[in-house]
Structures are given as structure tokens and as C-alpha cells.
Amino acid sequence: MNSLALINEFLGQPPNASSHGYQIDHIIEFCHWFMAALFFGWSAFFIFVLIRFRKRVHPAADHLGVRSGISTHLEFSVVLIEAVLLLGFAIPLWARRVNQFPPGKDALLVHVVAQQFSFNYHLPGPDGQFGRRDVGFVNNTNPLGLDPNDPAGKDDIVTSGELHVPVNRPIVAELSSKDVIHDYFLPAMRIGGDAIPGSLIPIWFTPVKTGSYEVICAQLCGLGHYGMKGTLVVDTPQDYQAWLKERAELSGGAQPAAPSPSPGGQQPQNKPAAPAASPSPGG
Ligand SMILES: [Cu+2]
């Protein structure tokens, strides 16, 4: 077992399954060894000071203090190492995540819509185009509010809880939320991002190992937060196509009966009607 696997196991991290994850593991690993060195270094210094300046040998206080420059050099080295970690590794790694998205054609785009307490997924289906969504169409059978009148949305795939992705292909997940702030976290992929109502936040990663991985919500989002888990299944391209086909058939069969909004701009039937007269507080 190498030191990386050792630290991972110690921290309870699942093994990395994404192309960039080893870089994050290296930073985590280095930080932990560095902190361990600081811990032992400062502990040894503390014990040294207790003995060296004990009262029996120094009955009167020495107000001049330390005259050697060694502590300054030590402090400066620690600051330097921390600056190199931050400026040389952490910030460039983060910048690559947020600035260098894979080109559109190579990547697979998935819309992830969080809600209390599950993650919904919206895929474009065989036509490669996402159908329009509107909050007015949201109901129990149409959790994402797909517009039933938009032809681009007819073949769209909407699923909840489990997402399949093909291996070795960049995945861009565009995060949003229907209610409160959630966080779409894929520990094995070493990536995560907040899902914020009213925002679209893209994250990307490339899975490099097939298998089944845990998806968790990493923001305390309500009473059911502890159970807000899902599964990311990384498939071979063949298995992924089979899953897509299966989902497309299921979605096609279960397409919500169009609650077509009438041309007059009336609310869809399923949406609770606004109260005619809301009691004004204190009125
Ligand atoms: Cu949540």
C-alpha cells in the first residue's frame, strides 16, 4: 500500500475514479504529511522550551528573549511551503476545474436538478437537444417541469436517484435546485458543486473506472438531508447505450399527460391556484 492509499483510507475516502482525482489526492496527502511534520516539530519545540527555561534554572525572567534567528527562519520556511501549496498547486488545480471545460462535442452534458431530498437528472435524449422547462409545468409526474408542447423535449430522459455515464468521457453536470441550496458531491470523482436555486453551476470530471459510486448532498438542506443520496453508475459505452435506450423507452411511456396551459395564459391545472384574497397580516 502506498502512502496515498494509506492517507485515503485513514480519511475514509473512497478510491479515486476520475482522471483529475489523483492530483487532489496528492494535495490532500502532502497537506497531511506537512501538518504531521508541523505537529511533531512544534510539540518537540514546546517540550524543549519547558525544559530549557524551567524555573529552577531561571529563577528570574529574562526580558530580552530569544536572540538567535533560527525561529525566524523556521517560521519563514513554513509560510513559504504554505504559499507554494496554495499558489503553486491548489489555485492552478482549481482554475483548471473552473476555466478549462472540455469542448462541447466531446463532453456529455447532464442537467442535475436538486430538490428536498433527491437529485433529478435531465438528459437530452436521442435528438441531443434539451426540451424547454418551466416551473409552471412542475407536478408529481413531471418533476422538472418539461414543456409538453416543446418538440425538443419529447424524447428527453428524466430520471431520479441513479445516473449512468459512460467511462472515459468528460461529463459536464449543470447544477441547479428547485428549493434550497444543496451540494452535488461525488466523493469518488473528487468533485462537487453547490446547487443553488436560480443559478446554473457547471462542474466537470472524467470517470476512468467503471462501477457504482455514491452521490451525496454536501449541504445541510433540511430534515431529510442525511438520506439525500444517489448512485452514479459508470458504464462501458455499450452498457451506457443500453441504459439510455431503456430510459428512453420508460420516459416515452411515462411522458406526463400534457397539462397544456390554455392560450389565455391560465395557470396549468395542477398548479395550486393563488388564493383569491390573502389575509393581510395585521389587517
Ligand atoms: Cu440536499
Find the range with the poorest average confidence among 164-173, 215-224, 246-255.
246-255
Q: Measured in angstroms, how far is the CA atom of residue 198 from the centroid of ligand 1?
A: 15
| Cα 110 to ligand 1 centroid, rounded to whole Å | 18
Encode pLDDT of 73-84 as tens digits.
Answer: 888 988 998 898
The Å distance, Cα 41 to ligand 1 centre, comes to 41
Q: How many angstroms separate the alpha carbon of residue 39 from the centre of ligand 1? A: 36
Mean of all residue pLDDT scores within the chain:
82
Report the alpha-carbon distance of residue 121 to residue 173 in Å, rounded: 9
| Rounded distance between C-alpha atoms, residue 155 and residue 105, angstroms | 20
Cα maximum dimension of the chain: 94
CA of 30 to the centre of ligand 1 (A): 31
Ligand 1 midpoint to CA 54 (Å): 54
**Helix/strand/coil (H/E/C) assignment for every residue in 180-213:** CCEEEEEHHHCEEEEECCCCCEEEEECECCCEEE
C-alpha 242: how far from chain center: 27
- Going by pLDDT thresholds of 50, 70 and 90, the confidence category of residue 257 is very low
Q: Model's pTM, two decimal places?
A: 0.75
d(CA 232, CA 240): 12
